[in-house]
Amino acid sequence: NAGVTQTPKFRVLKTGQSMTLLCAQDMNHEYMYWYRQDPGMGLRLIHYSVGEGTTAKGEVPDGYNVSRLKKQNFLLGLESAAPSQTSVYFCASRIDRGRGDTQYFGPGTRLTVL
């Protein structure tokens, strides 16, 4: 049971390039989330999904797109990277048994946009 995994761990992009971050979970969780972490800002929600085939916007969705084609995977896309998207990105998931469910986090992806 690997829990929540993220690929890649590190990436450097040039402004305008595109990339996709992959999040995978093997816990059969319904809900999945993408957060970004910036110094002094805590974790801010980008997009989330309450089930396969569904997505919703979070607090800071601009410049990002997501897809949840399979229950175990949640992809985060940057179509045209900007320096403001330099951040550490965390994926999380939780089962759907109630509001007290714990969210479990992946190890993060450190992205630098030059």
Partner 1 sequence: AQSVAQPEDQVNVAEGNPLTVKCTYSVSGNPYLFWYVQYPNRGLQFLLKYITGDNLVKGSYGFEAEFNKSQTSFHLKKPSALVSDSALYFCAVRDSGNTPLVFGKGTRLSVIA
User: Contact residues for partner 1 (CB under 8 A)?
Assistant: 4, 31, 33, 35, 40-45, 48, 50, 58, 90, 92, 96, 99-100, 102-108
Determine the straight-line distance between the first and last CA of the chain, rounded to whole angstroms: 36
Tell me the two tokens of residue 34: 């993408």
CB of 48 to partner 1, least distance (A): 5
Residue 17 vs 58, nearer CB to partner 1: 58
Decide whether 19 or 45 has the Cβ nearer to partner 1. Answer: 45
* Residue 75 identity: L
What is the dihedral angle through the alpha carbons of 89, 95, 101, 107, rounded to the nearest 10 degrees? Answer: -30
